[in-house]
Structure formats: C-alpha cells, structure tokens
Structure 1
Amino acid sequence: MNEHNPVLYRKYRPKEFNEVVGQRHVVRVLMNALRRGKVAHAYVFSGPRGVGKTSIARILAKAVNCAHAPNGSGDSDAALSIPCGSCGSCTAFASNSSLNLIEIDAASNRGINEVRELRESVRFMPPTGKYKTYIIDESHQLTKEAFNALLKTLEEPPEHAIFILATTELEKLPQTIVSRTQQFDFSRPGIKDIKMRLGKICELEGAVCEDAALESISLAADGSLRDGESILGRIFAVESKNVTSKMVEEILGLPKKESLRAFFSAIAKGECASSLAVLEEMIHGGQDIRSIARSALGMSRNAFLLKSDPGLERVLLEEATSDDIDYLKSLLPLFSPGRLQDAIRIFLEAGNTIRKSPIPSLPLEIAVVELTRDQSSGAVR
C-alpha cells in the first residue's frame, strides 16, 4: 500500500447508504424519509465510537442536496439511487468542497460563542442546493449555555437547515434538545459484518487475507468498524499482500486461539497447575495480558449464555464462529451456571485490576486459583 494513500477508514468511508455496515435500521428509516420528502430538521445519532454516525450524517447531507433527490412522490427507485454520486452537488461533496456541509467538533468548539456563530450562519440560505447540514460531533461536550443557545434554533429552525448531533454519551444531552429531534441508536456491527467489510477492503487493496486472520482482526475491533479498518491498516504497514492469522496475532499481541482454549479447558476441568502453566506460556510468549483476560471473560460470558438458554446460540453466532460455539458447548457439562457466573465476575475484576497491579500477571493467577479451587475433586458450586 502506497505510503501516501489515506488511512483505510478514510479511504473506504461509506459514500452511499448501501455501503453502510451494521446500521440497517437507521438506513431504512432515513431512506423512507427521503423517498417521501419527510426529512426531519434535526437528528441525534447516538452510539459507540466508530460505528458510522458521522458517515451516515454525511451521506444524508449529500442525499438531501442530490439533484436526483425524490420530490416526495414516494418513488422508491429514486430513493434507492441517491445520492447519485454524479451530479454537481454530489461531486462537490465527494471532493470535500461543498459549502452545504458544516462540521463542528464540539470537543474543541463547545462554548456559547461558537453556537452563536452557528446561529448567525444558519440564517443564510445555501449558496447552491436545498439544504445546509450542520453536523455537531461529540455534541455531549457542549456547555450548558451553548445547549441553551442551540435550543432556540431547534425550536424555530429555518427550512433550509438540518442539524445532526452525533454523540457517544446520549445521557449527557439535555432532554429539551433530544425531544426536538429524531433520535437513532446506532449499534455495534456484528463480527460477521465487520469481517465481510474487511474482506472486501482486502480484495480492493489486492491483498490475500486468511479467513482466521480476518476473524482475529474483527474480534479485536470490539464492535468498531473504524477500529477494524485501522487495525487492518497497521497489518498492511507490515505486510500488504499475504496476511496470515499468525502474523495478525504477532503484530497485535493477541493470544493464540489454541492457547486460549487450552487455558479455558484446564480451568473447566479444575486443573490449577495446567491453567497456570498455559497462562505463563502465553505471557512469556509476548501475548498481551489484558487481551487474555478479555478473551477469557468473553468465553465465560458466551458459555454462561449457552448454559442458560441453548436457543441463544443463534444470537452468539453473530459474534463468534460456529467452531468457537461448538468448542464451548463441549465444555458445558463441566460448568454449573453458578460457576460460570463466578468466572464472569472474577475475570471482569482481574481485567480491571491488571493495569494497577505491580505484578501484571497476578490478577489472572489469582483468578485461576479461585476458579479451579475444589474443582479437581468434582465439587460444583
């Protein structure tokens, strides 16, 4: 990959609604609004970072100004084809030269003076097109005074303006603001969705990436497509043609799946010495301790859900592979629900303690001892 190329998450940022990953519920409603000519004057997009809030806001801003935007007749074919990407407005958006898109970072422009400038700007009609769209990112960081000033504009919005407030902390937005908008909750994309998107990027970049490697990157992304694309970019900086799972594990310091399974199996069987030996081998092999704790926590949680209700396997397959699920199912007879609850609690505490521990491995070692105590004799809590 050429060193002058933009980072992957910018290079492959969705430009159309059909390129958005994992937010079908949001896209469907917005496209229906476009088809009917019923776009709201203000929206709140809330959800975790890196899931597409700003990307969808940009696509919406592009779509409402597209020369082929539906006129409210309900023409579904017209809605599906916008933004068209070829009209003068869409071309301006693609080159980041459109004057109808104003993006504000509330983390650094959070005061009342900035909002007053925004209110002054809103008064003017767009130079071309139909709407000026204001995207306020990290909107929860606006001051109380700034929110009060913004509220006045939201109460009597000009017809040519659309406001989109993006936030990772919805609870910090005043209810008076939220109640005057249409609010959408963005969810974390599933492992399958992230993996499919990363596979497509590899194809476009001319890279061959092992399926297991894509799976490891998708899991490491932890529900953030942007993080997944950033991780893939790091991998490409080392090897951009043939990406293997071993390479991904080494670059990211991820615990190997075989080692994790050996660790979790030993815990399930109550084998304290074996568990500690595998743990020591992983740590000495350079695998990140916090990643080990996080993976063990995830396996405990998934096993608990499967033990509680086998029907949840369908839900878990959105987050894990069928091979991972089958592995956990094979261990379920060794666990009681109470012991799995203990494992979740203990690994959660260990993960939170590692950073503060003078001996980083100690919290996990204590966790192993607690979880294998009395198990070798067949005792079950």
Structure 2
Amino acid sequence: MESLYRKYRPLTFDSVVGQQHIVSTLEHAITEGRLSHAYLFCGPRGTGKTTMARILAKALLCRNAEAARAEGASGCMPDGTCEECELIAEGNHPDVYELDAASRTGVDNVREEIINSVNFAPVRGKYKIYIIDEVHMLTTAAFNALLKTLEEPPAHVIFVLCTTDPQKILETILSRCQRFDFHRIGNEDIEHRLAYVCEQEGFDYDDEALAIVARHAKGGMRDALSTLEQLSVFGNGSVHADDARSLLGEVSDQILGEFSRAIADRDVAELYGLIRAQVEEGNDLLELTRDLVAHVRDVYVACVARARAELFEGGSEQAEALAAEAAAFGEHPADRLARVLTVLDDAALEMRGASDVRLVLEIACTRLARPEADLTIEALAERVARLEA
C-alpha cells in the first residue's frame, strides 16, 4: 500500500498547498521565459521543497505545456499526465537528476554525478534539471567544485538546490541562486487537505481530530499526512479526536485550563496532582509542557490585546474565556504570564535531555507557584509586586 504523503503529493502547480507566492513567481518566470540558471528552495521539512522542484521540472519538460506556450497560451502548468511528467514523477526521466547530498557529500560525488555530465545535451527535452536535496550537507570542497559550474552552466542546465538549513551554504553559492523561502503551511490549509484525503480514502473523521493533527504537524504537510495515515490504521478507518489525543499525547483544553488556574492560584499541591494524573494516564510530559506553553500564550495574548476576537480561532467566546483566565493572575497579569511562559519554555528545553522529565516540570511549577523559592530577578520582582499590592 502506498503511503498517503506519496499518494497525495502535488503533481502540478494547481495542487500545491500553502506556497502560492512561490507558485505564482515560477509560473510567471516560465511563461515570460525569464528562468534563472539556479534556484534555492529553503524552508522547514515537509513544506514541499523537493515536490516543487519536480513540478518545476515538469513545467519545463511537459510536452503539452510547451506546446501551449508555443501557441501563445497563458497557462504554463504541467498537465501531469504526459509521458515526460509521468517519468519525472516516477524518478526515471533521463534529463532530471535527483541527488541526495546527505549521502553524497564529497567532491568526488559532485565531480562524477554533475560536473562530468553537465555539458552533455539533454536526451529527451529542452533542459537538463539537477535537483540536489539537503544541499547544505555538501562539504566545503564539494561546494567549491560545484561553484564554477553553478556560476556559468550551459544554457540547457538548471539547478534546483533544496535545503532546510540555508545558513550552512557558502555565500558564494547563495549569491548565484534565486532564493525562495517556503513557509510553514497554515493549519487551516492543512485541515482542508486532510479532509480532502479522508473523503478520497473513505475515512470516517471529525473536524476536531483534523485540527489536532494540523496543530501537531507544525506547518509540515508531510508530517500531517503521515499522522493521518497512522490514525486511520489505529482507528480502523476512522479518525476521531480521542484517538488523536491518545496517539499524539495532546492534552485537552480543560486540563490545560486547570493547570493555568492552579498556577494563578499558587496551588502547588493541585499542580503536583495534575502532573501525577498525566503520568498515570501515560501522557508525554514534554508534549504536555509544549501544549501548556501554547495555552498560556493564548491567555497572554487575550490579556495584552484586550480579548480581540479575531485573534482566536474560537472567536469572541474563546477570547472572553481566556481573558477571564488571565484575570486570575492578579493585578498585573501580563507580567506574571510573561514569566510563566519563560519558565515553562525553559523547562521544555531542559526536558529534551533530562533523565527525569517529571522532576523538571515539578520544579518549574513550584517556581511559578512559589516565587519565594526562586531567586531569579523575575521572581524577586514578582514578590515586590505582591508586597506593593
């Protein structure tokens, strides 16, 4: 059975989700014949960099698209069905070279697979396209070997470099590429795509489950589709919110609200009881802490932005509930909430390498509930504020 993220990978510009700024620019460049000899696609994983590179290759080599442009038609999108497009989708087109720089990092690999073949004419189409994935993994020597070819390639050659870490690429390489930054895909776009996949696959689903999957994916469509597939197997063809929370370790808003109120009330015993309940249920405390940071962040926004409804998915009802929660933090809730966010975020970072994540979270909650036990400047400022009040 083919994985969902492979089965529903976009095949044309029209089917790309969440990267319209890049799609529009590439379409105009192809239509107007203003192509660059080298492109750099950079952004978080799972946002469509390699997929976009393949679609660009299709748009340049697609027979139907090329014929349409020759006749003066405005569209330049590949149809995805001609022989050229199918060969590219299968990874078998002789004029499209996909290289994984993570496994071919050395100068010999660059010389053997690119430099020695770049001057040969295309076999089937008008262009030869080199797609180099995770290009930041190349060694300095390999980059230097590639530099001359990248600077003055033959007219029939186009390079597409893909990376999640552009900071590691040499400035001399960056200056010779046209750069496109891929954004994290919005939760709403991910939810719509997941709903479409569920309908195509015949999955029984609810909207809350898809919202949980979208939040957990953190802007990556590939991660979202992989999680959806896992959930569909877990639920025997059903995708429901309870299963999503159980599988992903997401905590309900009710539990997060209880944590927030316990911190506001400085109730250490209640906080320890809530943590114990999460442990007994087998939930991931690191995920709990991250969810709690996100929840407190919403409370903070509701506090400082005076509960503006347009800032929240739940509208005015959610904004008012969060504002009421913020009021429980005392006379100067914004300052106290800012400290809560700082302490919890630091705890989440520490928990990633801690041998006892429960202890880290308990200490963080104690610091938040009992500032007299914390000797930081922020804690002392909070104690002074309490005395002044």
- What is the TM-score with the length of structure 1 in the denominator? 0.90
Instruction: Tell me the equivalent position of 2:20.
Output: 24
1:249 aligns with 2:275: no
Q: Which moved more, 1:261-270 or 1:37-46?
A: 261-270
Larger radius of gyration: 2
Q: Any residues of structure 2 matched to 1:286-365 within 5 Å, and which?
A: 286-309=282-305, 314=310, 317=312, 321-322=314-315, 325-335=319-329, 336-365=333-362
Q: CA deviation at 1:310?
A: 5.0
Q: Distance in 2 between matches of 1:60 and 1:109?
A: 23
Instruction: Tell me the equivalent position of 1:120.
Output: 116
1:30/1:232 CA distance change after superposition, 3 Å: same
Conserved in 2, the CA contact under 8 Å of 1:147 and 1:177? yes
Conserved in 1, the CA contact under 8 Å of 2:232 and 2:238? no
Which of the numbers 89, 94, 102 marks the counterpart of 1:94?
A: 89
Q: CA deviation at 1:311?
A: 8.7
Letter in 2 for 1:90: C
- Provide, for residues 158-200 of structure 1, a one-character-per-residue CA deviation record: whole Å limited to 9, x for no partner: 1111111111111111111111110011111111111111111
1:326/1:72 CA distance change after superposition, 3 Å: farther
Q: Which moved more, 1:28-37 or 1:323-332?
A: 323-332
Conserved in 1, the CA contact under 8 Å of 2:306 and 2:323? no
1:72/1:240 CA distance change after superposition, 3 Å: farther
Q: CA deviation at 1:241?
A: 2.3
Letter in 2 for 1:93: I
The DSSP-based 3-state class of the residue aligned with 2:192 is helix
Letter in 2 for 1:302: D
Percent identical pairs in the alignment equals 38
Which of the numbers 187, 191, 196 marks the counterpart of 2:192?
A: 196
1:161/1:240 CA distance change after superposition, 3 Å: farther
Q: CA deviation at 1:265?
A: 2.8
Conserved in 2, the CA contact under 8 Å of 1:139 and 1:165? yes
Q: Distance in 2 between matches of 1:10 and 1:326?
A: 42
Q: Distance in 1 between matches of 2:301 and 2:253?
A: 20
Q: CA deviation at 1:75?
A: 4.2
The DSSP-based 3-state class of the residue aligned with 2:125 is coil
Q: Which moved more, 1:361-370 or 1:141-150?
A: 361-370
Conserved in 2, the CA contact under 8 Å of 1:267 and 1:275? yes
Conserved in 2, the CA contact under 8 Å of 1:112 and 1:145? yes
Q: CA deviation at 1:312?
A: 7.9
Conserved in 2, the CA contact under 8 Å of 1:34 and 1:72? no
1:313/1:15 CA distance change after superposition, 3 Å: farther
Instruction: Tell me the equivalent position of 1:150.
Output: 146
Q: Distance in 2 between matches of 1:312 and 1:227?
A: 31
Instruction: Tell me the equivalent position of 1:235.
Output: 231
Letter in 2 for 1:292: L
Letter in 2 for 1:250: S
1:337/1:128 CA distance change after superposition, 3 Å: same
Q: Distance in 2 between matches of 1:283 and 1:301?
A: 24
Q: Any residues of structure 2 matched to 1:173-188 within 5 Å, and which?
A: 173-188=169-184
1:21/1:240 CA distance change after superposition, 3 Å: farther
Instruction: Tell me the equivalent position of 1:222.
Output: 218
Q: CA deviation at 1:356?
A: 3.6
Q: Distance in 2 between matches of 1:187 and 1:85?
A: 24
Instruction: Tell me the equivalent position of 2:10.
Output: 14
Instruction: Tell me the equivalent position of 2:379.
Output: none
Letter in 2 for 1:106: A
Q: Distance in 2 between matches of 1:311 and 1:255?
A: 23
The DSSP-based 3-state class of the residue aligned with 1:197 is helix
Q: CA deviation at 1:355?
A: 3.7
- Provide, for residues 191-230 of structure 1, a one-character-per-residue CA deviation record: whole Å limited to 9, x for no partner: 1111111111111110011111111111111221111111
Instruction: Tell me the equivalent position of 1:107.
Output: 102
Q: Distance in 1 between matches of 2:297 and 2:220?
A: 20
- Provide, for residues 48-103 of structure 1, a one-character-per-residue CA deviation record: whole Å limited to 9, x for no partner: 11111111111101111112236488743x23xx2112323123223332112211
Q: CA deviation at 1:12?
A: 0.9
Q: CA deviation at 1:261?
A: 2.3
Q: CA deviation at 1:121?
A: 1.4
Unaligned runs of 5+ in 2: 372-381
Letter in 2 for 1:127: V
Unaligned runs of 5+ in 1: none
Instruction: Tell me the equivalent position of 1:282.
Output: 278
Q: CA deviation at 1:32?
A: 1.2
- Provide, for residues 140-161 of structure 1, a one-character-per-residue CA deviation record: whole Å limited to 9, x for no partner: 1111111111110111111111
Q: Distance in 2 between matches of 1:182 and 1:260?
A: 44
Which of the numbers 165, 168, 181 marks the counterpart of 1:169?
A: 165
Letter in 2 for 1:281: A
Q: CA deviation at 1:275?
A: 2.6
1:260/1:182 CA distance change after superposition, 3 Å: same
CA RMSD of aligned residues (A): 2.4
Letter in 2 for 1:14: P
